[in-house]
Amino acid sequence: MLSNLLVNKFIKNNEDIKNPTVRNAYGTLGGVIGIIINSLLFLIKFSVGILVGSIAISADAFNNLSDAGSSVITIIGFKMANKPADAEHPFGHGRIEYLSALLVAFLVMLVGVQFVKSSIERVLNPTTVTFDLVPFILLIISIGFKVWLSTFNKFIGDKINSSALKASATDALGDVFTSSTVVISFLLSKFTTLPIDGYIGIFVALAILYAGFGLVKETLNPLLGEAPDPELVNAICEKVLSYPLISGVHDLIIHNYGPGRIIASLHAEIPSDKDIMEIHNVIDMAEREVSRDLNIHLVIHMDPICLITDEIRETWGYVETVLRRYPEIKSMHDFRIVGEGDSKNLIFDIVVSPSLSGRRKEEETMLKNIKDAIHKEHPQYNCVITIDYDYME
């Protein structure tokens, strides 16, 4: 496989993808290959477009030129994202990679806007497109180059989990579609004098705009704070729960500061009757080992849970019955009874769907109904309920 051959030849220790230097080498290789292929395709298509007088082929050529520029931005983005942390950026510069991908997306859209204008002008003022076999063959070959480039970028993008390279792969695959449309337009010009070239040019330009919009949306998500990867969430929870004395986890929050720069925190439920130093050793070991295994920085808060008594077991069961009336409630944790005699605080947290976020009146109504139902059966309890949102939904 050519992709593996290039990686093995130009990237030392290419399996050590957690190493920032190796990761940067992958990004540089992807960028250099992109510059070479897209520059070559620009020269081929621009020459063909001028030779046969096709605005659609010329539009596709400049799309390839913008892709070459995007590859330059990708290389610069990887190098800047690899800068070490400093006082102003204590978690590093990893998000620059997302910004470079966003800039690439805007460049793609700019090319699309320019060629919408040019194609409309061609429709209004049509000129003859001359079909020639040699340019036609060159266009077919160019599609093959783009298919391989998309495969190559996806290969290394998946390997190092790079949004910039994955965006380049998606863009290249979209180019395969638009270039194929251009080739069909060129072929049809042999059989008709209709201004198909201009209409196809508009179609290609709109396809470029659509691809650019999709890339903008994809690269904005990690910058705005997208939901974490479910596989990572499950891996963190499963690994933490595998340690002795940890019976449950909740309040998991994951912050993405760029590829390989993920910080996570969670609450780990531990029995309240165990020695604090024994618990601390377990938590400390979990933090260290899970952080190493998943290439993240994990912080664990110890959350002691009450010993199970008959009173807690009975009350827990009743509260669960009440909560099941509300489908937006996912789970309950930190359940405890504080106080003595006939006046006690019943304290617990409920995890709800993020769809409730911002709907304050609905939240207040739900909490009031829950408290009223519990107070009706257990008037001795004063309910203290905290709402947590399920950010992993």
Q: Which two tokens stand for residue 358?
A: 């911002």
Q: Where in the chain is the domain with CATH 3.30.70.1350?
A: 227-305, 307-393
Answer whether residue 229 shows pLDDT above 70: yes
Answer whether 67's CB lies under 8 Å from 34's CB. yes
**By percentage, how much of the chain surpasses pLDDT 90?**
16
3.30.70.1350, 3.60.60.10, 3.90.1150.10, 3.30.930.10: CATH of 307-393 = 3.30.70.1350
Sequential DSSP letters for 186-239: HHHTTT--S-HHHHHHHHHHHHHHHHHHHHHHHHHHHHHTPPPPHHHHHHHHHH
Q: Where in the chain is the domain with CATH 1.20.1510.10?
A: 2-224
Count of CB atoms within 10 A of residue 323's CB?
Answer: 18
pLDDT of residue 371: 92
Average pLDDT, the chain: 82
296-305 and 248-256 strand pairing: unpaired
Answer whether residue 157 shows pLDDT above 70: yes
3.30.70.1350, 1.10.10.60, 3.40.50.800, 1.10.10.10: CATH of 227-305 = 3.30.70.1350
pLDDT in tens, 49-84: 888 777 767 877 887 887 888 788 888 888 887 787
Answer whether residue 129 shows pLDDT above 70: no
Q: What is the largest CA-CA distance in the chain?
A: 96
**By percentage, how much of the chain surpasses pLDDT 70?**
94
Higher pLDDT, 287 or 19: 287
Answer whether residue 272 shows pLDDT above 70: yes
pLDDT of residue 12: 86
pLDDT of residue 102: 81
Count of CB atoms within 10 A of residue 212's CB?
Answer: 23
Q: Euclidean distance between the first and final Cα of the chain, in Å?
A: 39
CA distance 145 to 154: 14
Residue 256's pLDDT band (cuts 50, 70, 90): confident
Residue 284's pLDDT band (cuts 50, 70, 90): very high
Question: Quick one: which of 204, 42, 188 has its CA closest to 118?
Answer: 204
Higher pLDDT, 298 or 337: 298
pLDDT in tens, 18-49: 777 888 888 889 999 999 999 998 988 888 88
CA distance 43 to 25: 27
Q: What would the mean pLDDT of 289-317 be, rounded to a whole number? A: 86
CB neighbours of 365 closer than 8 A, spacing ≥ 6?
A: none
Residue 393's pLDDT band (cuts 50, 70, 90): low
Answer whether residue 391 shows pLDDT above 70: no
CA distance 82 to 119: 41
Residue 287's pLDDT band (cuts 50, 70, 90): very high
CA atoms within 13 A on the CB side of 193: 0
pLDDT in tens, 176-215: 777 777 777 777 777 776 667 677 777 777 877 887 787 7
Q: What would the mean pLDDT of 320-337 be, rounded to a whole number? A: 88
Answer whether 309's CB lies under 8 Å from 296's CB. no
pLDDT of residue 193: 67
Query: What b-and-e string marks burial along 277-313, b requiring 16 or more CB atoms within 10 Å of the CB?
Result: eebeebbeebbeebbeeeebbbebeebebbeeeeebe
Question: Quick one: which of 102, 104, 101, 97 has its CA closest to 82?
Answer: 97
Count of CB atoms within 10 A of residue 340's CB?
Answer: 7
pLDDT in tens, 99-109: 877 877 787 77
The structure's pTM equals 0.62
Answer whether residue 128 shows pLDDT above 70: no
Count of CB atoms within 10 A of residue 276's CB?
Answer: 11
Q: If 0-12 CB within 10 Å is exposed, 13-18 middle and 19+ buried, where does residue 343 land?
A: exposed
What is the separation of C-alpha 261 from the centre of its chain, rounded to a whole number of angstroms? 14
Question: Quick one: which of 137, 182, 176, 183 has its CA closest to 153?
Answer: 176
Q: What would the mean pLDDT of 227-250 be, rounded to a whole number? A: 89
pLDDT in tens, 368-386: 999 999 988 888 888 999 8
pLDDT of residue 258: 78
Answer whether residue 118 shows pLDDT above 90: no
Among 128-142, 212-226, 275-289, 354-368, which range has the highest average pLDDT? 275-289
Question: Quick one: which of 265, 270, 272 has its CA closest to 290?
Answer: 265
- CATH fold of 2-224 reads Alpha-lytic protease prodomain-like (1.20.1510)
